Structures are given as structure tokens and as C-alpha cells.
Structure 1
Amino acid sequence: MVAHRAANLHPLARTGPSRLHHPHHRHPAAPSRAGPSTGRPPACQLGQHEPRSLGLSRPDQRAGSIAGLAGSAHPRPQPMMPVLGPGLWQGLARFVVVHTAWDAGKHFLATWHAWRTDAHRPGHLVYVAFSPLPCLPPAADPTDTGPAAALTAQLHQAWPALCPGLQVLHFEQGAVQLWLMLGPLASSLSQLQASAHALLLVPSAALEPQRLYGACARLAAPGAVALTPDSPAARQGLQTAGFVLGAAGSLLKAQRPAPQAPGFRPLPPAPRGRRPAQRHRHAVVIGAGLAGASAARALAAQGLAVTVLEQAPQAAQQASGNVAGLFHSVVHAQDGAHALLLRAAALWAAPHYAALLNAGALGEVGGLLRGLLEGHEDAPKAHPSPPDITELRALLHTLGLPPEHVQALEAPQASSVAGLPLPFAAWLFGQAGWMNPPSVVRAWLAQPGVQLRTNSTVDALRWDEQRQQWQALSVQGQTVAEADIMVVASAHSSARLLAPWTDAADWPLETTRGQVTQLSAAQCERWGVPRPRLPLASGAYALSLPPQLGGGLLCGATKQWDDADPQVRNSDHQHNLQQLQSLTGWCPPGNDMGDTLQGRVGWRLATQDRLPLVGPVAALSELQGLRQLEQPRHVPRVPGLYTLTALGARGLTVAPLLGEVLAAWVTGAPMPLPTKILDTIDAARFVSRARRQP
């Protein structure tokens, strides 16, 4: 571990004129949000008493009245829904609750408490809540010293700076997850992909009843229970969604029958490209870089036995072997697919990496400055240099991004944060930082259930129809490993391995060579090289390295297409030093420095649309005669064959989230990305694009 420095500890991130205040973003006075959650909250003793059994016919009177969001900025008090876990979740590996309101966390805390105290609890609890505006956890009661107070304290400690979209809070070493979906209920609900066992449906003026109850047909697992205030619209809507109604009362209880149960009515299946694997006990992952290790960790966390095959003598070679790399969000005025994906990924990565630091990984979750240089992708094209800081802050206000996530700083403010004079304005990203990729990969591969096998070259894949297994074959045609699920995450060899089974030969892939330059601590001292407090990025990047990684400074990287030269080149060192000059204003002392510098070469794989490839691959043999193929979700897939590749230059940012996305695709767990983003990274998207072309 190097450090976990909270991004909002710098004065500019807390107070002062540079702080952007979102009109709907409220901040609790206590406890202070000193940084992202580590995902490993301290255990609290809840006592040995038996959990209270909550009836389904009335609300829990102990909870009193809470605030339920009803589609407006002003909460409307409603009684808390009963806790539906005990009695429903017995025998399940995962229990999913969907609550269409946010009641200041009261119901989530009650469900979490019930989960903790139930000996028959499932291995995982996922609680999905919706709020149209930034919301708060419940207020702490200083007189309460019981179990509820301990859980409330953990929730306060983990509470994030809420951005539009989905944010996930992890508790109990990841066994309990709180999903907060921030935005209009209609669009948020339509973007959720999950199979819920309990649905708490709060009518909203912002959503027609038929759409609210109609969502149950898509989101409810067989046997799911729904609770909602009784009304004719609720009865009609739930019956249409395949639910059997219970007794009348202030709350209407309805249940979707399980298959073969009386009243069961099959509903339209999920789109072909969104269905989980029918069998997923064991997975083989090819490649032990960031992509493969992240996939392996996430699959193992869902209960699969995972074998990782790596052709090199050790994991984290190629581009994943660099001494350090950055992770951060971006700001784009259009807020399109790239911005949405990278923001979601950064929000997921920051607390995840904070937890890895506690587990021994090297890096720092302390923020990052992304410069706004003229002509750079983050600089508004209509503005001369320097950009208008007022308009940049107005853009953040329009996008609803809180200051804990990103601020726009003028050059003097950015210089103060960096600790050295900077020639540009900058975005200050809070949920950002740098990590040492090899230590990240090692931490992921240490997940229980993951077995790494090095010096294992895979030359081809084979489907064994009799054994119903995917097999990874050596050059001699021998079986190296076999499993229900095969995940190809081997970067540059991914397309070759997948081409016999899907459209991988037609993927528009690009390979770029990148060389980084590392200056030692002594060289930085001798040549007066500035070392910023936070990583700097703007086309190129510069970050100060700790003594554990040799000290000094890392800068780069070059970007050269179709260049297979593995040698470290002095000309590339000179290029990186010129980039360092544009970032910091520092002037290299001469042209003979390259002979004394250390560096490393790696190759990145990316698609031409700069988005990764994730998920089950397209089954080309089944396309004939099918409609709706213009959307990737409707493209049929090769059963059991998946990929996670082409992460490009954003591997550290996107890998933690995309590993979870792939595991959810395999197992049917709730998908941690909205469906509109999922379509843009779907491995079958190029089949759909070909169908859309005239």
C-alpha cells in the first residue's frame, strides 16, 4: 500500500470560491465524508437476539414515518414498507430488492440488519433504490448505541458524492451492496437490468402507473413478491405483469408464481443477448492482465471456480506491467457513451482501489488534475486558450456533477493543488488517482476460487458437445483446461482465438505502441524536474512515484500505430520529456538525457470507436431470418463463450467495473451498467451496426 489520500482533503475541494455548488446537492454536517468507501467497513456486534419477524400485512411500527420520494423535490411522508427478506431468501445465493424510492435508507438498513441476523441468509444481498435528486443517508441518532446505529455509521462513512446515474456502495466485504440510481424514475427504471425477488413499488407523479407496474414483468424473478399501496391501477398493473394478488389492505401484496405453481404465466423472455449462461459452475479465463484478472476476480466472487491461463511466466505482462497508470473520469459537453462509461467506471474504481490499497496493492486514490490545453479533447473547441472557467463550471452544473467528483480550476488554483506552477486550467477529479497495475492484478488473482496457471499458451478453442464444455487447446492440440464458461481476455490474440466462432475477424481493432519514461529520484533532483502532488494528465501524463516504486517521476506515453519495435528508444524519451514540458513548464537541460533514462514499451489494443469489447460473442450462424438485430441486445450469442478485451488506454479505469459487468452477464446478477451503456460496449455491436447500414 502507498496511500489512500481522500480527494476532498485539499482546501479547494472543501471551501472557497472554486467550489461548485449543485443546487440540489446537499451535504450532511456529520459525519464528514473524508473519502471513498474502502468496501471493508468495520464489523459491528449486533448481539445474539433473534431477528424480528415482520408481517406482510402491515408496516413495521418501530420505524415510524419516513420520507418517500414521490417524483418531486419535496418528499412525502410514508410508512416504511415491511422487510421482505426473511422467509423469501432462504436457499438463494443472491437476494435482490428493488425499491422505487429512497426513504433515507431506513428500509435498506432494516433489510441489512435482517440479513446479518438470519442464519439462513443468502450469500449476497443487492438493494436497488431510486431517487430523482441527490439524497442523504438517515440522520444519526446520538442516543442510539444499538445495531441500527452501527449500520447507520457504516452507511454514513461510505456515502459518496452522488453523480447522475448508478453508484454502488459495498459492505460486508462486498456481500451487501446498495445501488443508488439517481435521476428521473422513468428512465432509471428502464435502464435497470436485474432479476428481483422483492419489489417495493412507490407510486410517483413522474411515472404513469402502467409503466411502474409494467416494469415488474421485466424485473421480477419467478416467485418474487411485490408490495405497493392498494389501488385499482396497482391491481390491474400487477395482474398484467403476471402477479397473483393477495388480500386487500393498505398495502397490496402480490406474488409472481414460480414455474409449475398455480397461476404461473410465462412472460416474454429477456432479449437473446442479455440472457445469463444456463450453466456457470466453472470458468476458464485466457489472459492474466488487467482484463483477465478483473474478470476472474468478479466471477469467483459470484461463486464460480475460475482457472486463469497465462502464456507468460507470470501475470501482468505486456501493457499491464507498467510501473503505474492513471484512472479517472472525463467531462464532455455531449455526455455521450465515452463520458458515461468512464464516469461510471471511475465511480466504481475509486472505492474498489481504496480497498485494494488496504490489501497491499500500490497506488494512491487521492485525485488527479486533467489539464485543459488548447486543442486537447477536454478543452471546449469553441473557446480560445485559456478556456472560460465560468462556462466550464456552468457545464458541470448542467451535467449535475458535484464538486467532490470534479471541479473546474483556473491555472492559479490548479497550480496550488499540484504544488507547482501550471500553464493551464484544469479539471480536478476527486474519485481518481493512480495504481501500480502488477500489484492490482496480483490482488485480483488472490481472490478465493481463482487458480492461476502460467506458461500456458492457448492456440485454439474447441466446444466438446458430448461433455458440454469449452476447451482451451495447446499448439499440439491437447486440452489445457476446460469449463462451462470460456472468457477470452488475451488482448492481441483475442480476435484470433474467437474468429472461428464469431465476427471477431471483422472487429475494427487498432494496436498502438506506447513507451513511458521513468526518471529516478536522483535525476529529478539533479535536473530540477518538478514532481506534482497529484498526477497530471492532458494528452500525456506525469505522476510522482513513491520510494516503494523507485521514487522519481513517470511520464509519457508515446502513441504509435502499427509499430512492433520492442526496444526502448531515445527519440521516444525526448518526446515524453517535451510532453512533460507542456504539462509543467519545466525545460529539459539538454538533448543527451535519453541515454540515461529508464523506460518500458507496451502495446494497447483498442477498437476504432474507443470502447471496449465485453460480453458473450455473436452467433453468426443463427442470424438468418431474425429481426431487431439493429440493437445488440437482440443478437443471438454463442453459449458460454465470452470476451473482455480492447480496453485501450483506459484499462485501469474500466477494468474493475467491466469485470463485474462480465460476471453479471454470465450469472444473471444485477447488471452494474445502464442498458444504454451496455449496448455501446457489447461485443456484438458491430453485427448490429452492419445491419443498420444501407
Structure 2
Amino acid sequence: MSSSHQISSANLHFNAHGTPIADDFDDVYFSNDDGQAESQYVFIAGNKLTKRWRANSCYSFTVAETGFGTGLNFLACWQAFDDYLSQNLATGSKQLHFISFEKFPITTNDLQDAHQRFANLSHYASQLRNAYPQQLSAGCHRMSFAGGRVVLDLWLGDVNDIMPTLSHHNQGNVDAWFLDGFAPSKNPQMWQQSLFDQMFRLSRPHATVATFTAAGLVRRGLAEAGFEVSKQAGYGNKRDMTIATKTALPQSTQYRTDSSTEASSVAIIGGGIAACLTAWQLAQRGKQITLLCADEQLAAAASGNRQGALYPLLTPKPSELSQFYWQGFRQALPFYRQLSELAPSIRHQWCGLLHLSSNEALAKKHQEIASIGYPTTLVELVSAQQASALSGVTLPHEALYYPDGAWFCPGDICQFIGQWLTEHGHDVRLNFTVKALTQADDNWQLTGPETLSAAQVVVAAGIHSGQFEQTRHLPISAVRGQVSHVPATEASQQLKTVLCHTGYLTPMTTDDSASHCLGATFSREDKSEDLHDDDHQTNLQRLAQAMPDSELVNDWQTTPTEGRVGFRAVLRDHFPVVGPVPAWQQIEGMAQTSVLASMPLQQGLFVISGLGARGICSAPLAAAVVTDYICGEAQCLPQPILDAINPARFVWRRLKKNKPLFDQ
């Protein structure tokens, strides 16, 4: 198993006071007397949060914490933020973004025991435990609460390993630090100079730090990193605690203002799942959305299939590609669960997914994936007998089993979001084809049936995302896929899971059509939008090869007459393009650079495309990445993965090799 995946849960016991004690550090997680009061005094009051929330000119305020522990600091901060919001101030922060790092996460059961001490936080604590990751795997676990008003990014792993991989927007992301963790004498591995240096790098001007300790190495480390450091009276019996501030550049204002976060209007070009989920997430961050769909209805193109499978793309060796899709899957699960609870109209089924080892290549690949040591809550290799029991039909092969796999109707998701946007004062335009984009002053002009204006633009138009002058150098290709709709039979109705092989078969739809989706073909050359009998036969033959002599195959000997054709947007390296659009003309005159993130950008223009056949899995994460860029917030992906999906990566590679930057 890759060391990047290995996460060990905390070893702890509870003392006579009911306080959790970390066995590996011989230290308490919070004060025996009143842990919540200590948290409020040291971190919330120490950072003057309530005052700063009132004075903050930006929509979101970011707190970062070293050492999540029991989540007590997060819960106390959430409660304090709710108390502040209850004042109904016209200005000030409207969203709390809380980032925390934890090397040894506590299990859900231990969390529940620890939370018993804080009855007045039970409303918040129960929500945290419900959202808490079941897979204690390395990386970022993003949780959203209170309709997106509170966002928690829980990074699992060593903080000193994670922080250097984090990107930051302009002059930083973090407004206040809770410098927590076990005492420096108990946990010297964390309290390193590199930690303080990374904190300074990630901090915005005027960011503050508060910590319970007054140890000299902490004060000296913060000062050496660049913070202005002072002491104040500590909590309870502690004589002193430490506070610090990142001094601002002379032109900086007293409280954070950032032009990119102040621009409230965003136009999104597209009507598929990537466009709609981006609109949804940006609207929840306080942006005014205009969604521009060229078709008569949302999800009329590649997102229009009846059933799309939800599962991650894992590779035989740990790679950035599998990390991206695993992170996407982790983010998609709670996102779709919340969305489907809000909208019962979204057809879906949390049924699990089996990827059959139906040929030698797949069998070898699946064995290698299983050997990596992913959590069994994510994926495990099961025998043919186990796969048959899970699926409800007889299967001749072993399989990779994804217990949290599912299928969703992407069109239902798009329709719900479109209706929600309209009901909440946003603008959804159908039959609106954007012909051109023009930058004028600080806004973009979008020319179509009429000319619209927006401060920022997201191009999420699938295969058409490269049609503009500003996006034409993105190497997006169109791949035709045909799905067959086969009628449910007595045998097929027994199918309980999604089946993948060299194609896929879904369980029966949950509507009146009583059919299954069988697919899908893959053709770069065929540009026809018509259904082909040959492609229907291809879908049937692939199923027959995976399940010879199966009743399912025997029942579907007749060529289907129904189906659907869609064109997927893909890129040659299998990653999507997600992020700011490069400024191509400025790149032409550049010298070589080893830093992809330093490439010049077109201000206020972003793209999401190339999600291929896995948009259901990757669209929530892609939407979150672009939303974080637009809002100037901390990303939930490390820099190497952001680089892997960066729209400038292709021209950057050519620049490094002194090759012509663009295809003629």
C-alpha cells in the first residue's frame, strides 16, 4: 500500500473526568476543567473572530487549525459563527471556511464519547459525526453544513507534509490560525520551523494566530517566519499564551478585500452537469448566477443519459489520475446524498457497483488495484460467488466491488438545479448560444441572442468549450458514445448493482420506462447523431462476452430500437481541464518556467471540460475547484493535482521543451 494512503486512527482512552487522553502523546485533547471555555478564550477570542467577522468585507472567512482532534475547536467556532449570523448584519462574513489537519484521526465512536462533555454543542456535533469520513484515508475530506454556510476541509495526514503542497490565492487564503495540537514538549515533530513558515506563506495580510502555549520555540518560530508575536494572559492556570499577526504590505487595508472575491456576477456557459453543479456551488457562495444553455432544455447533450454510474477511476499503480478521481468520489458521495435529500425528484440508487474481471487484462488490473491496499469501504476484490450474491444475478468472474457505487440520472440533477436557481433569483437562459466573449474593462461581454455582461465567466460547454477565441488552444476532442435502452425482463429485474466490464449495465430504472441502460460505444471518428444498429449490437456483444450463457443476454437477442447518442469531451492525458484559462498571447513571449501555476491567465475566465465518461464522479470536485478559484478560497486539492488538471499544462509542457506552442 502506498504510504500516501496510510492513515492510522488515534489511540486514546478516557480519564476519570471523561477527557480523552492520547496514548501516543500522553496528553489531553482538551482541558479537564472546561475544554469549550478554553477553546473560546484561546482561539475565538484570541483571534478576535466576532469583531473581524463583522468588519470583513468579503463573503467568506477562513480559519485554519493544526490538530483537529475531537473537533471541539471547529464546533465552538461554528456555534460562535451562528451566534454572529443571528445578528442579521447587512455586511460582514456570510460563510465560515474551516480548514484542519489531523495525522491520527479519532474514530466516530470515540468522537461520540468525547462530545458527551459538551451538551450545548450537541446540535453541531451530531452533524459533524454524520458527515465525518468513514474512509480514514489521506487527503482532503470536504464537508458542507447549513446549506453551504459552513465548510470544513479536514486534511488527514502529517501537517508538515501536507502544507507545502497547498496552493494559495494571490496573497494567501487563511484569515486566522488556531495553532493547536499536543504541547510542544509532547509532540515536537509537529512544532517545526517549517510549520511556521508554511503558516506564514498561506496567510493573508493581517491574518492572526492564537495558541495556548507560550513556549519559547513557538514564539521564536513564528517571529522567524515573519509574524509579529506577543503574549497575553493564558486560560485558567496558564500564565501566558501566544498571539501573532502577519503584518500587511503598506497598501493593504485593515481588513481583507480582494477584487476577485468582490465581483459577484458569474456567467456560466453550458447546460450539463458540470455547468449546473458549478452554478449551484457558486450560488451558495453568494454569487449572482447567469446560466446560459444553448439547448431547449438543460442536460440535452452528454449529460442527458438516463443513468450514469458513480464510482472512481483507480489505476493499478498509485497515480495523480487515481488520486483525482478518488478525491472526486469522496466529495461526490456526501454532495449527492445531500442533493438527493433536497430533491426526491432526482432518480438514483445507492446500489453498489461491480467491475467484472471479464478478460485477462481486467483481471490483472483488478488484482493490482486490490494489492494497493485501498480501504475496503472504497473497493475490494470479491469472488465470482460473492459478486453473484451482491448483484442478484449469476456472474462468472471475480470483480472489484465499490460498496458506495451508485447510479444517478444527471438530467434530473440539472433540472432540479435550474429550477432552484430560478426560484432563488438567478437567471437561467435556454436556447442561448454564446457566439463570442469580449473583455471590456473589468467585465466580460457575452454575445448571443443579446449581449450580456458578467464579472467572471465559466466555460463548461462540453465538446464546445474550445469554440471561443480565448479557449481555442485547449486540445479538447469529441468522442461519440451510444447507449442502448433494453427492456426489463423477469431475469434482469433481479439485478441489484451496476455491472461494469468492457461496457456497463445498470439496474432497472426507477421510473415508468422499466428499462436498463447498456453501453457504451467509444468512437472518435463517427460524428453521426443517429442511432446505429451496429452500435446496439456492439453493446450486446460486450455484455455477452462478459457474461456468456447468462439469462440476461439470452433475453436481449433482438437488437434494441431505443437508445441515446452523446458526445463526450476528452483530452489525450485523460485528465479534464479545470481552472483559469491561460493568456495565450502572453505565453508566446515567455521564457521557460518550471512553475506551471505561474503561467499568465485571462482575468476572470475559467473552464471545465474533458470530464469524459466520468462526469458524475468528477463534476462536483471540478465545480468546487473553479468555485474556490473564483471566490479566492483555499482549494481542496494539493498543488500537484491542481497542476494535473490545469488548462495551461499542454502549452507549458511545449514551452519547457522549446516546441511550437500551438498546433497549426
Fold equivalence (TM over 0.5) = yes
Superposed CA offset, 1:618-660 (max 9, x none): 1123336655633321101011111111111111111111111
Work out the CA distance in 2 between the residues paired with 1:155 and 1:284: 33
Q: Secondary structure, in 3 states, of the residue corresponding to 2:355?
A: strand
- Contact 2:10–2:107 (CA<8 Å) still a contact in 1? yes
Work out the CA distance in 1 between the residues paired with 2:201 and 2:592: 18
1:691, distance to aligned residue in structure 2 (A): 1.9
Superposed CA offset, 1:45-88 (max 9, x none): xxxxxxxxxxxxxxxxxx996557xxx96563254643323233
- Provide the residue aligned with 1:246 in structure 2: 230
- Provide the residue aligned with 2:235 in structure 1: none
Using structure 2 for the length normalisation, give the TM-score: 0.84
1:463, distance to aligned residue in structure 2 (A): 1.4
Which AA in structure 2 matches 1:599?
G
- Provide the residue aligned with 1:104 in structure 2: 70
Match of 1:160 among 108, 113, 133: 133
1:624-639 → structure 2 map (5 Å cutoff): 626=590, 629-639=593-603
- Provide the residue aligned with 2:524 in structure 1: 561
Please provide the CA RMSD for this pair.
3.1
- Contact 2:18–2:117 (CA<8 Å) still a contact in 1? no
Superposed CA offset, 1:119-162 (max 9, x none): 35832112211122343352337977943223222222222212
The reply to whether residue 693 of structure 1 matches residue 657 of structure 2 is yes
1:431, distance to aligned residue in structure 2 (A): 3.1
Match of 1:540 among 503, 521, 529: 503
Work out the CA distance in 1 between the residues paired with 2:484 and 2:263: 43
Superposed CA offset, 1:86-142 (max 9, x none): 233223322222111122111111112222222358321122111223433523379
Which AA in structure 2 matches 1:255?
T
The reply to whether residue 115 of structure 1 matches residue 115 of structure 2 is no
Q: Which piece of structure 1 moves more, 416-425 or 530-539? A: 530-539
1:284, distance to aligned residue in structure 2 (A): 1.0
- Contact 1:414–1:426 (CA<8 Å) still a contact in 2? yes
Using structure 1 for the length normalisation, give the TM-score: 0.80
Q: Which piece of structure 1 moves more, 533-542 or 242-251? A: 242-251
Work out the CA distance in 1 between the residues paired with 2:221 and 2:363: 48
Question: Where does the alignment leave 5 or more consecutive residues of structure 1 unmatched?
Answer: 1-20, 29-62, 267-274, 382-386
Work out the CA distance in 2 between the residues paired with 1:353 and 1:455: 28
Work out the CA distance in 2 between the residues paired with 1:262 and 1:311: 42
Superposed CA offset, 1:271-302 (max 9, x none): xxxx9836521111111111211221122111
- Provide the residue aligned with 1:355 in structure 2: 338
- Provide the residue aligned with 2:236 in structure 1: none
- Provide the residue aligned with 1:223 in structure 2: 206
Work out the CA distance in 2 between the residues paired with 1:250 and 1:678: 41
- Provide the residue aligned with 2:607 in structure 1: 643
- Provide the residue aligned with 2:96 in structure 1: 125
- Provide the residue aligned with 2:476 in structure 1: 509
Match of 1:323 among 301, 306, 311: 306
- Contact 1:286–1:488 (CA<8 Å) still a contact in 2? yes
The reply to whether residue 453 of structure 1 matches residue 429 of structure 2 is yes
Change (3 A) 1:75 1:520: farther
Superposed CA offset, 1:488-543 (max 9, x none): 1112222121xx335x33x333211111111123xx23xx4464211111331111
Work out the CA distance in 2 between the residues paired with 1:164 and 1:371: 27
Work out the CA distance in 2 between the residues paired with 1:302 and 1:146: 30
- Contact 1:279–1:484 (CA<8 Å) still a contact in 2? no
- Contact 1:296–1:450 (CA<8 Å) still a contact in 2? no
- Contact 1:353–1:365 (CA<8 Å) still a contact in 2? no
Superposed CA offset, 1:355-405 (max 9, x none): 1212232112342222233354x6435xxxxx75xx765421xxxx32222
The reply to whether residue 668 of structure 1 matches residue 646 of structure 2 is no
1:592, distance to aligned residue in structure 2 (A): 6.2
Change (3 A) 1:509 1:451: same
- Provide the residue aligned with 1:140 in structure 2: 113
Change (3 A) 1:244 1:434: same
Superposed CA offset, 1:462-494 (max 9, x none): 1123xx3211113xxx74311110111112222
Q: Secondary structure, in 3 states, of the residue corresponding to 2:54?
A: coil
Q: Which piece of structure 1 moves more, 329-338 or 298-307? A: 329-338
Work out the CA distance in 1 between the residues paired with 2:115 and 2:633: 37
1:4-153 → structure 2 map (5 Å cutoff): 24=8, 74=25, 76-77=27-28, 79=30, 81=39, 82-84=42-44, 85-92=49-56, 93-118=59-84, 119-120=86-87, 122-137=93-108, 138-140=111-113, 146-153=119-126
Question: Where does the alignment leave 5 or more consecutive residues of structure 2 unmatched?
Answer: 233-238, 659-664
Change (3 A) 1:629 1:145: closer
1:565-644 → structure 2 map (5 Å cutoff): 565-585=528-548, 586=550, 588-589=553-554, 593-594=558-559, 596-623=560-587, 626=590, 629-644=593-608
Change (3 A) 1:539 1:132: farther
Change (3 A) 1:129 1:597: same
- Provide the residue aligned with 2:358 in structure 1: 373
Work out the CA distance in 2 between the residues paired with 1:303 and 1:486: 15
Larger relative contact order (CA 8 Å, sep ≥ 6) = 1
Q: Secondary structure, in 3 states, of the residue corresponding to 2:53?
A: coil
1:178, distance to aligned residue in structure 2 (A): 2.0
Which AA in structure 2 matches 1:135?
I
Change (3 A) 1:432 1:286: same
- Contact 1:197–1:223 (CA<8 Å) still a contact in 2? yes
Which AA in structure 1 matches 2:230?
G
Work out the CA distance in 1 between the residues paired with 2:589 and 2:572: 29
1:546, distance to aligned residue in structure 2 (A): 3.1
- Provide the residue aligned with 1:653 in structure 2: 617
Q: Secondary structure, in 3 states, of the residue corresponding to 1:133?
A: coil
- Provide the residue aligned with 1:40 in structure 2: none
- Provide the residue aligned with 2:160 in structure 1: 186
- Contact 2:163–2:198 (CA<8 Å) still a contact in 1? yes
Q: Percent identical across equivalent pairs?
A: 27
